[in-house]
Structure 1
Amino acid sequence: MQPVALEDRIREIARQEGVDFFGIADLAVAKEELARQGGPGMAKYPRAISLGIRLFDEIVDQLPDRKSRAVAVSYRTHCYDVINLRLDEVASKIAGEVQRAGHRAYPVPASARTDDERICAVFSHKLAAHLAGLGWIGKSCLLVTPEAGPRVRFVTVLTDALLPAGEPMEVQCGNCTECVDACPVQAFTGRNFREDEPREARYDARKCEAYFKAMEKESGPAVCGMCLYACPHGLKT
């Protein structure tokens, strides 16, 4: 199957499965970072298919009351567990279609930590979405879309199919520091994303980790998401 015809087919699968954001990334510019995070196995693919599902605003808007068990359970269920499952299922279906077309396909789990030292997964879905032109990486290290801000979860299918790729979007945070100011543990430095800087220049993941563990010990189900909630690009006016 030719790349353009294959793209049309997988776009249609994504639409049928309720995907809100679809893009294709050229990974050539990120080869070094991909190898650093996931090893040569993750860096060998020239393309990434990026798929996103929008979170439910009615649940995200309750996050200021996140210490309420009802809010925490709702968020963990419908803005995390269920959406991750939906993303993994559609990624599997699209990877199957790509493989049947004669190409290699590697569906990366939507949310699965593989490195406890760096507190990260084997591949950055946010980076793929950024390179696909779906948004930019904000000061919170979240992928910010023009349509929904950071209120989106993503999954990725890596492939050697040379599908037509999008263009990365310029950072549009400007002088805004809403996400930085909203963080209860000051985990962000407030620096804009730069491809030549490691995540640690902008974000201390260990502060978030400690905060979550303390909340779990105190009240059970733990959620935060204040950086996601506060972003003006996602807030309804």
Structure 2
Amino acid sequence: MSLQDELNNIALENGVQYFGVADLSEATDFIVEQGGSDLSAYPYAISVGIRLMDPIVDKLTHRDEKAALLNYKHHAYDVINSRLDVITSILSSYIQDNGYAALPLPSSKRIDDERICAQFSHKLAAHLSGFGWIGKSCLLITPDNGPRVRWATILTDSPLKPTGSSIESRCGTCNECVKICPVQAFTGRNYVEGESREMRYDAKKCEDYFKEMENNGQLAVCGLCVYVCPHGRKKG
């Protein structure tokens, strides 16, 4: 059994629904710009994803129900992020024990408050692994579960095989995420490789919205763009 198969099995045993490998060679400039030159030393990214619980996401429109919002923040955000961090740590240790370098990246930690971004884009790794496309919401949209997946990444020099390639946008004329956003943070533009995020998304609007909720003594929870995407909502 190859190292990649072993890692895949470990991931599945630890509750991951998505395990993929991305060739990062075509994204070097973007990776360096966002996270620094040290990250460009790794030729591959392992992308792992855990699907969110539909009954929790489906209650996000119930803005007056504190329990519904608390469930989302706790189970669909805090708990799953912790699970992802544990899984990437386990996988990284296994890679290192096999003689290769592995850098697990936090599932949800910001390093730049001005640009409002993390060290590395997990959705980029998932996109390049063939799991989906970048939607108008700037989320990774999977064909089967839409944006109802949280992601984490391991950078590595281990000899892995890419599991797929980037998928073209299937958003078409759909603007459900644009319309439902309470602060109109999305412009409705489709993702274009190399185009700045600001052409599609004003992260500061989201940031200010969360701060306003906190200042008003509310739970800082939104997720409406996750809820509304037709690729994730169940039919019938």
Provide the residue aligned with 2:72 in structure 1: 75
Query: How far did 1:190 drift?
Result: 0.7
Secondary structure, counterpart of 2:22 in structure 1? strand
Structure 1 moving runs of 4+ over 4 Å: none
- Aligned pair partner of 2:207 in 206, 209, 214: 209
Secondary structure, counterpart of 1:128 in structure 2? helix
- Aligned pair partner of 1:145 in 135, 142, 154: 142
Amino acid aligned to 2:197? R
Gap runs ≥5 in structure 1: none
What is the distance in 2 between the residues matched to 1:66 and 1:30?
38
Query: How far did 1:54 drift?
Result: 0.3
Provide the residue aligned with 1:231 in structure 2: 229
What is the distance in 1 between the residues matched to 2:64 and 2:159?
46
Alignment TM-score, normalising by the size of structure 1? 0.97
Provide the residue aligned with 1:161 in structure 2: 158
- Aligned pair partner of 1:179 in 160, 168, 177: 177
> What do residues 163-199 of structure 1 show as CA deviations (whole Å, max 9, x unaligned)?
1002111211111111111101110011111111011
> What do residues 140-171 of structure 1 show as CA deviations (whole Å, max 9, x unaligned)?
00000011000000000000113100211121
The change in CA–CA distance for 1:67 and 1:223 in structure 2 (over 3 A counts) is farther
Amino acid aligned to 1:127? L
User: Is 1:98 paired with 2:95?
Assistant: yes
Identity of aligned residues (%): 56
> What do residues 12-69 of structure 1 show as CA deviations (whole Å, max 9, x unaligned)?
0001001011110000010000000000012221100000000010010010113422
Alignment TM-score, normalising by the size of structure 2? 0.97
User: Is 1:27 paired with 2:33?
Assistant: no
The alignment yields a C-alpha RMSD, in angstroms, of 1.0
What is the distance in 2 between the residues matched to 1:64 and 1:42?
38
Secondary structure, counterpart of 1:168 in structure 2? coil
What is the distance in 2 between the residues matched to 1:194 and 1:201?
10
User: Is 1:56 paired with 2:53?
Assistant: yes
What is the distance in 1 between the residues matched to 2:40 and 2:134?
20
Amino acid aligned to 1:182? I
User: Is 1:107 paired with 2:76?
Assistant: no
Q: Residue 46 of structure 1 contacts residue 162 of structure 1 at CA under 8 Å; is this kept in 2?
A: no
Query: How far did 1:127 drift?
Result: 0.4
The change in CA–CA distance for 1:212 and 1:23 in structure 2 (over 3 A counts) is same
What is the distance in 2 between the residues matched to 1:217 and 1:67?
17
Q: Residue 67 of structure 1 contacts residue 222 of structure 1 at CA under 8 Å; is this kept in 2?
A: no
- Aligned pair count reads 234
Q: Residue 35 of structure 1 contacts residue 43 of structure 1 at CA under 8 Å; is this kept in 2?
A: yes
Gap runs ≥5 in structure 2: none
What is the distance in 2 between the residues matched to 1:69 and 1:87?
26
The change in CA–CA distance for 1:67 and 1:206 in structure 2 (over 3 A counts) is farther
